[in-house]
Amino acid sequence: MTSVEPDDWDGEEDVAPPALAPGGDLQRFAFVVDEAGAGQRLDAYLAAAIKSVSRARIRRAIDDGRAAVEGVHQKASHRVSLNERIELQVAAAVDAPRAEPIPLDLLYEDDAIAVVNKPPGMVVHPAKGHWAGTLAGALVHRFNELSGVGGLVRPGIVHRLDRDTSGAIVVAKTDAAHQALAQQFHDRMVRKEYLAIVAGRPDRDADRVSEPIGPHPTHREKMALRADHPASRPAETFFEVVERFPGFALMRAHPKTGRTHQVRLHLAHIRCPVLCDKQYGGRARITVGEIRAITRNKRLAPERAEDAVLLGRQ
């Protein structure tokens, strides 16, 4: 999938998301509410109980659905009761990215912002299994000044793109620029557009998908279409077909919101998963021979160089 304008997390998720979510290392805490804590809001109770974790990280964990009261996920405003058991999972803090001399495709730059074309295969900020080769490391090396609003882990980063997604990312050099950009994303003033090659054949020229997205019930690295989780958020995407081919199509996506994996999930929902997106229903790879056979409407018979992988997930 290629983004020609930026993706982001919308609403509460407009700013760059937790560095290790979804997935990553988690700190786990468990408490039983005593008389002194009874009646408090869940976020206030946990902030008072856990001195080693900032209130912001605790609130983020609650909003991500990682707080449970008697086994049931609750919102930050939930009032806790005497003898209730509370469990919390907080994304472990990570160190600031080290500067790395990685070439950047700079699309635009002025004194306040820069726009970078992120290549596929590059993670935006350090996370479990991806401590080096990040966009954040490249930014620290390239620019003398970056906004600190996103914290040490996300210098200048206002929004994000998935590792295997390419496209434009807006970088803030100053805190004022960061806050202004974040507000524009929050107010949905940013128009986002993706181009995706999908498997299957869309049955209509244009479509709208409005399905909430939340954590996957069993796989921490995935998201799911679900409305039954406190961390689920409304999600809406408009699609239109650019061109159809035998067995696949080129589609344009305009996400109204910006949830994690939103475009990929919504395309899978209409049975047109992103080509080679094995995580959400696509095949792991496609070969030159298969493309040639498909375009000629012939049975697949790849041989020699045609067995070479044309496209695959990294």
Full domain range(s) for residue 46: 26-91
Residues 93/32, Cβ–Cβ less than 8 Å: no
Tell me if 288 is assigned to some domain.
no
Do 125 and 246 lie in one domain? The reply is no
Catalytic residue among 7, 10, 43, 162: 162
Tell me if 144 is assigned to some domain.
yes
Annotated catalytic, 162?
yes
Do 237 and 276 lie in one domain? The reply is yes
Do 163 and 210 lie in one domain? The reply is no
The answer to whether the bond into 103 is cis (omega within 30° of 0) is no
Counting Cα atoms < 13 Å in the Cβ hemisphere of 144 gives: 2
The total number of structural domains in the chain stands at 3
In order of 33, 226, 296, the CA distances from 293 in angstroms are 64, 38, 5
Do 218 and 246 lie in one domain? The reply is yes
SS3 27: strand
Do 182 and 100 lie in one domain? The reply is yes
Q: What is the pLDDT along the chain (314 residues), one digit of tens a residue?
A: 333 333 333 333 334 443 333 444 678 899 999 999 999 999 999 999 998 888 888 998 898 888 999 988 899 999 999 999 999 998 776 667 888 999 999 999 999 999 999 999 999 987 767 778 899 999 999 998 898 876 666 889 998 898 889 999 999 999 999 999 999 988 889 999 999 999 988 999 999 999 999 989 888 789 999 988 878 899 999 999 999 988 889 999 999 998 989 999 999 999 999 988 989 987 777 777 766 766 665 444 444 444 544 455 44
Do 175 and 223 lie in one domain? The reply is no
Q: Does the global pTM surpass 0.95?
A: no
